[in-house]
Amino acid sequence: MTKPMTIPEIIQTKGKRKLSMLTAYDYPTALLLDKCQIDMILVGDSLAMVVLGHKDTLAVTMEEMLHHTKAVSRAVKYSVVIGDMPFMSYQISPEQAVENAGRFLKEGGAQAVKLEGGATVIPQIKAIINAGIPVQGHLGLTPQSIAQLGGFKVQGKTAKAAKKLIEDAKALEEAGCFSIVLEAIPAPIAKLITENISIPTIGIGAGKDCDGQVLVFHDLVGMFDRFVPKFVKQYLNLNPEIENAVKQFKKEVEEEKFPQHEHCFSINEKELKELKE
Residue 200 binds which entry of Na ion, ligand KIV, none, CB below 5-8 Å type-dependent: none
140 or 186: whose CB is closer to ligand KIV?
140
210 or 216: whose CB is closer to ligand KIV?
216
**183 is an active site residue:** yes
Residue 168 is a binding residue for Na ion (CB under 5 A): no
| Element at 100 (helix H, strand E) | helix 94-106
44 or 118: whose CB is closer to Na ion?
44
Q: Which of 21, 44, 80, 113 binds Na ion (CB under 5 A)?
A: 44
Residue 199 binds which entry of Na ion, ligand KIV, none, CB below 5-8 Å type-dependent: none
Residue 171 binds which entry of ligand KIV, Na ion, none, CB below 5-8 Å type-dependent: none
Tell me the β-bridge partners of 83: 43, 113
Catalytically annotated residue among 183, 254, 255, 256: 183
Residue at 25: amino acid letter? Y
120 or 257: whose CB is closer to ligand KIV?
120
Of 31, 32, 62, nearest to 47 (Cα)? 62
Beta-sheet pairing, 179-183 with 112-114: unpaired
Of 69, 105, 81, 75, nearest to 7 (Cα)? 81
How remote is the C-alpha of 253 from its chain's centroid?
A: 37
CB atoms within 10 A of CB 117: 19
Report cis status (omega within 30 of 0) of the bond before 259: yes
Residue 108 binds which entry of ligand KIV, Na ion, none, CB below 5-8 Å type-dependent: none
Residue 211 is a binding residue for Na ion (CB under 5 A): no
Residue at 14: amino acid letter? K
CB-nearest residue to ligand KIV? 44
Ligand-binding annotation for 170, yes or no, is no
Binding-site residues, please? 45-46, 84, 114, 116
- The residues assigned a catalytic role are 183
